[in-house]
Each structure stands twice: as C-alpha cells, then as structure tokens.
Amino acid sequence: MAEDDRSTTTDQGATIEDFLAEERTFPPPKSIVSGALVTDRSLYDEADADFEAFWADRARELTWFEPFESVLEWDLPFARWFADGRLNVSYNCLDRHVEAGLGDRVAYHFEGEPGDSRTITYAELLEEVSRCANALRSLGVERGDRVAIYMPMVPELPVAMLACARIGAAHSVVFGGFSADALRDRIEDAEAKVLITADGGWRRGQPVALKANADAALSNGARSIEHVVVVRRLGDAAPDTSMAEGRDLWWHEIVPSQPVHCPPEAMGAEDLLYLLYTSGTTAKPKGIMHTTGGYLTQVAFTHRYVFDLHPETDVYWCAADIGWVTGHSYIVYGPLANAATSVMYEGTPDHPGRDRWWSIIERYKVTILYCAPTAIRTFMKWGTEHLEAHDLSSLRVLGSVGEPINPEAWVWYWQHVGGERCPVVDTWWQTETGAIMISPLPGLTTLKPGSATFPLPGVAAEVVDDAGTRVERGGGYLTLSRPWPAMLRGIYGDPARYRETYWSRFPGRYFAGDGAKVDQDGYLWLLGRVDDVMNVSGHRVSTTEVESALVDHPTVAEAAVVGATDATTGQAVIAFVTLKAGVEVDEEHGEALRRHVASKIGPIARPRTIIFTEDLPKTRSGKIMRRLLRDVAEGRDLGDTTTLADQSVVEELRTRATSQPAEE
C-alpha cells in the first residue's frame, strides 16, 4: 500500500483530518467554466504532440520586429529560444496595446500605503517609460549595460524596468528590504553603471529610508556606478536625503523634461533582459539570467491561462513585491504583455488596519488575487472578521505561490476569501524557471487542496528517485526533463556553476532542489526543499549566507543555521551559535546577533531563535550534523547519534531547544 493512501488508517485524530483535507476534490465551478479560456485538453494535446511547435505558436502571439526561424537550439544545459528573431519587451508591453487602441485602458491602479493613489493608463505608462529611457540614455546607459534598481513598490519601479528593456540595458532589481551590503555585492557582480533608487518608502506607517542604504553601499565599493537616480517618494518625511554632487540626480529633475518618444531597440530574442539574484547553498548569491523572447512568451502565456485572464474585464492583483521574481513575471511583464489592468500596492496588509487587502479588493473590484501562503496563514491568525466587513464578491480566481500551501490554509482561502466559488491555483515555479511550470487551469482542473496538480502544457516535470529513475507514484526529487522558453540561461559570469548547480545531480535533467510526490491520480505534491536552503515567507534564504553573516560578528566563533517549521512564515531561521571565549551569553547578545544578520542580509534572514552552545555536533570528519540540528530545531526525536564527536552536545542542544520559546 502506498504511503499516501491513508484510507486504511484507523486513527481518529489528525491523520483522519489530514486524509479528509487531502482527498477532498474541487471540480471547476460552473460559473468559471462558462466563459473560461480553457475547458478541454486541446492545449495539452497540442503541446504533447510537438512541444517546440507549441511554444513557437505562443511566441508568434507577440509582436516581432523580425520573425524567428529557429525555435530551439539545445546544447544541454544551454538553451536558445527563437534566437534569430528580434523584438522589444517594452514595445510588446506598451506600444502595441496603444497602437491597438487600448491607450486609455488602466495598466496600474497604484495605492500607496499612506492612502495616496494613482491611476496609470497604458498611454501614460508608455510616455513615462519613454521619458525614463531617454533619461537613462542621457546618463550614458547603452544597449548591453546593466542598471541596478533598489526601490519601494511605487510605479516608478516598473517604469524603470521597462525603460531599461526599451533601450536594451539589463536591469538588476534588488529587493528594497535587502541591506546595503547585499546591494553592494549585487551591484559589483553585475558591474551596474547606474543605480535607480528612492529616498525611501512607507512600511507599517513609518518612512523607511532607502537612499541612505544606497549611499552606504556605494561608500565602500560598487565603483562601477556612475550615477544614482533618486525618486522622491517620502519627500519631507525622509530623513535628510543627501545628494552627491555630480553623481546623484532627482528623478523629477531629469525624467519629466525628456522627449516623450523613445524608439525601442530591436533586441535579439536571446539578449539579456534582466538579472535577479537568488540564494543557493553557498554564501555567494547567484545572478540568474533571463533573456528576451522566450521569457516574455512563457510569462504572457502562463499569466493568461493560469489566471483565466479576460483583460477587458478582469482586475488582477499580485500582492508580491516586484523585488522578487513573482513581481517581475506577474506584476510587470506577464500582465503588461497581456494588456491587463493590475492593482499595485506599496505597503503592509495591516496598515492602517488588518483589513487593508480586503478594502483594496472591494474598492477596485479585484477579480484575480495572487499571493503567498504565508500571507494567507497570517490572515487566518487574524480571524475572519476583517474580511467579513468587505464585499469580496468581485473575486473569481485565487492564486498561491512561494511555498507549499498546506490544505488547511488552502481551504480557508477558498472558503473565506473566495466565498467557495473561486478556484485556487497553486502555482509551482522558481526564480530560475522564470514562469509558472506546475499549476491547475481554473476552467479545467479538478483541484486537491495542497497539490499544484499537473505540469502546464509544454512543460515536462518528472519526479525521480535517487538513481534518477522516474517515479510513477510516490516520493522523490522534482526534475524538469526538457528545456522551456523562460528558463534561466545561466548564472551571470559563471557557466560552470550553472552546470554544476542545476544539471549535475541527474544527467540530462534540471533538478530544482525540491522534493515532490505523485499520488494515485498523477497529481503532484510539493514537499519543500531538499537542499540547505530555507523558505521563509515564500522567499529563499541560504543557510550558508546566514551562517556567514553570524560568523562575521566579532563575538561569534562558529554558527550553524537550519530552517524549522513555523506556523506563519512556513520556515523560520534557527541559529546554533558558539561564541568566542569570554563573551557573555545573554538575551541582549542574541538580539545583537539577530540585528547583525538583518543588517548584513536583510530583515527576512533575521533568525527567529538563537541557541547558544559550547560546541556544535560534528561527524568525525568535522562536518556539522545538520540533520541533527534540524531535528533539534523541529523538536523531534533525535534518532541515531553515534557518529557524534561528543554525545553531551546533543543533550545540551535538546534541552536548550525546548527551553527557549520561539520569539517574534
């Protein structure tokens, strides 16, 4: 009997509840099926027959300045899609819609955290992007250059990205929550010429300065930066924003005065569109490379079909931050390529009240909501009264992304947010895949809460065992066995690391780092990461990076970091720390270390729990026993520990882990 067949269990407790949650199925609601873009399997059949022809047909839905002849050149692991074609991403996201008469359609309903709002049509967005593109050119940015962007969630952020795409410069967006050091490292790796930032942004009612961080990043490195363009977002609320003479320029002083036309560059389909840095198992973040034609093809296709987008009537809201790949693909490029109307929100869900999201949905009559399980679990904790005060009846499709969504949260989302009438599409993908790979289609797929269901048309996802043999039913490693148009083209400046990281574990297969299982109906269930990468609030945080940040503190001798299950954030960062001799262990010191990590990497990497220990458990060869630490952190039974150098460490770790309560 397979492990996922729970029907034999006699347990009357949690197992049964689990069983019920897992086995409940949700066929597509009639209200969605009538009028849905996809209600039969023809797209899957088409893609199964010839996946290259399938993607080529999707690519032809874009506007090409020069059509492609070549569809796929596959020199494993290096792919080139539509390589001899020429196009421009900003042209496809803006000009062609305006030329088609859609200039007055709203591209973004922007809402700032303090309550300010802006409505931006496609025609207005095209003008602003063209002006910004001309401003970048006036600063010497040329086709092939890199531009770093470090901004809050304001409309100037997508404008800056599209302006880069227009003139053929690659952008590297660095999430506004990252520290000055993280910004500096990313600028240096990309050798960016210009940095676009803001005086700051709003978060939970407080102004958060960004320019000061940018200055810190530039004060000890990042020498490639010639100019800094600064958006005035906080204005008088900003702590004195200093502007370096000759280097720094205010956005409002150089952008609005530019000519309103800027001819788009005809880019090769394989030209670099952007870099986005993501954590891996080593301390150095990887610059994931995404190119032009294939990327836009797959983000446009998936955005349209996964959310059953009807751009004339839908109001779409992806509540991620543009600083992550979700925002790149599903706030900026996918929705704009599809001429969608989106909501963009700057701040936190609890400002000024815990009903902020629901008031936004009610006000803009949002029809499609895309967010992360960590947000859903937070709302569950806050209680349903905040939703009940608002009319959410405009919603028709709900999406989830970033980590496995537990069935309990899925059902809550379906019931309380979706009013039991909206399909919940659980979408699996990664920074590296560029676009959604595994997901239901709202008008077709029967849903199981907690399952991302099936690979999308044109995608080959397979679960394999340790030996790389395909698993038809049961657990294993999730792999991708064919190239796909939006796939990463490599790690910036490091092709060997690209090959080693993604293509060496299973020959001929991309290994994504995730465990998964296939159930008796062929549904895929994601089981979390199998490598040393944590998933905190839907974001990847490398254990090694946090360890490096801790050891960087003058009092720390050694550190080992693991992820432990956390009811709200999915996983929490747990750090085991050995201090240098003579340093006093106290709560204040733990707080100092937490602050240190936040300042080195960003608040997302801040350890929830720090466990001070005299020694770390090691194998005879000196390797830290991470499995054991994970078990300690999870409060589970420790099992066999005989390879330990010092048995007493285990006992000590166990006591400390249970005696120290989790902190916020």
Contact residues: ligand WT7, CB under 6 A = 278, 324-326, 401-404, 426-431, 452, 512-514, 526, 529, 535, 538-540
DSSP collapsed to 3 states, 223-252: CCCCEEEEECCCHHHCCCCCCCCCCEEEHH
Choose between 282 and 641: whose C-beta lies nearer to ligand WT7: 282
Angstrom distances, CA of residue 298 to CA of 267, 306, 337, 473: 17, 11, 11, 28
The closest of 371, 347, 373 to 566, measured between CA atoms, is 373
Structural tokens at position 139: 């600063």
Query: In angstroms, rounded to a whole number, what is the distance separating the alpha carbons of residues 452 and 546?
Result: 30
Q: How far is the CB of 480 from ligand WT7 (least distance, A)?
A: 11
Residue whose CB is less far from ligand WT7, 92 or 329: 329
Please report which residue ranges of 480-580 form alpha helices under DSSP H. 495-503, 543-551
Region label for 281, one of left (φ > 0), alpha (ψ between -120 and 50) or beta (otherwise) = alpha
Shortest separation between residue 398's beta carbon and ligand WT7, angstroms: 13
Q: Residue 366 or residue 512: which is nearer to ligand WT7 going by CB? A: 512
CB of 538 vs ligand WT7, minimal distance in Å = 6
State the minimum distance, in angstroms, from the CB of residue 432 to ligand WT7: 6
- CB crowding 595-629: b at 16 or more within 10 Å, else e: ebbbbbbbebbbbbbbbbbeebbbeeeeebbbebb
- Compute the least distance from the CB of residue 445 to ligand WT7, in Å: 14
- Nearer to ligand WT7 by C-beta: 198 or 461? 461
**Polymer length of the chain:** 664
CB of 18 to ligand WT7, least distance (A): 17
Q: Is 220 exposed, middle or buried (0-12, 13-18, 19+ CB in 10 A)?
A: exposed
Q: Beta-carbon neighbour count of residue 389 at 10 Å?
A: 12
Least distance in angstroms from the C-beta of 375 to ligand WT7: 13
- What's the min distance (Å) between Cβ of 494 and ligand WT7? 18
Q: Closer CB to ligand WT7, residue 169 or residue 452?
A: 452
Nearest approach, Cβ of residue 632 and ligand WT7 (Å)? 23
Burial tier of 647 (Cβ tally within 10 Å: 0-12, 13-18, 19+): exposed
- Which residue shows structure tokens 């106290």? 586
> Rounded to an integer, what is the distance from CA 121 to the centroid of its chain?
26
Rounded to a whole number of angstroms, the minimum distance from the CB of residue 241 to ligand WT7 is 31
Output the smallest distance, CB 68 to ligand WT7, in A. Answer: 27
Minimum CB distance to ligand WT7, residue 371 (Å): 11
Q: Least distance (Å) from ligand WT7 to the CB of residue 529?
A: 5
Place of tokens 């496995």: 404
Q: Side chain identity at 233, as an amino acid letter?
A: R
Cβ-based nearer residue to ligand WT7, 307 or 429: 429
Give the Å distances, CA to CA, from 379 to 366, 403, 449: 18, 16, 18
Q: Which is nearer to ligand WT7, 4 or 52 (CB)?
A: 4
Using the minimum distance from each CB to ligand WT7, give the nearer residue, 428 or 498: 428
Where is 612: in which H helix or E strand? strand 609-612
Compare residues 85 and 570 and give the one whose CB is closer to ligand WT7: 570
CA distance 489 to 288: 8
Q: Do residues 649 and 614 lie in contact, with contact meaning Cβ atoms separated by under 8 Å?
A: yes
Cβ distance to ligand WT7 smaller for residue 110 or 428: 428
How far is the CA of 649 from the CAs of 536, 622, 642, in angstroms?
27, 14, 12
Nearest-angstrom CA–CA distance, 165 and 275 = 12
**Strand ranges for 82-191 from DSSP E:** 86-87, 106-111, 117-121, 146-150, 170-173
Give the chain's largest Cα–Cα span. Answer: 74
Q: Residue 515 CB, nearest distance to ligand WT7 (Å)? A: 9
d(CA 53, CA 264): 28
Tokens of residue 313, six digits: 């009537």
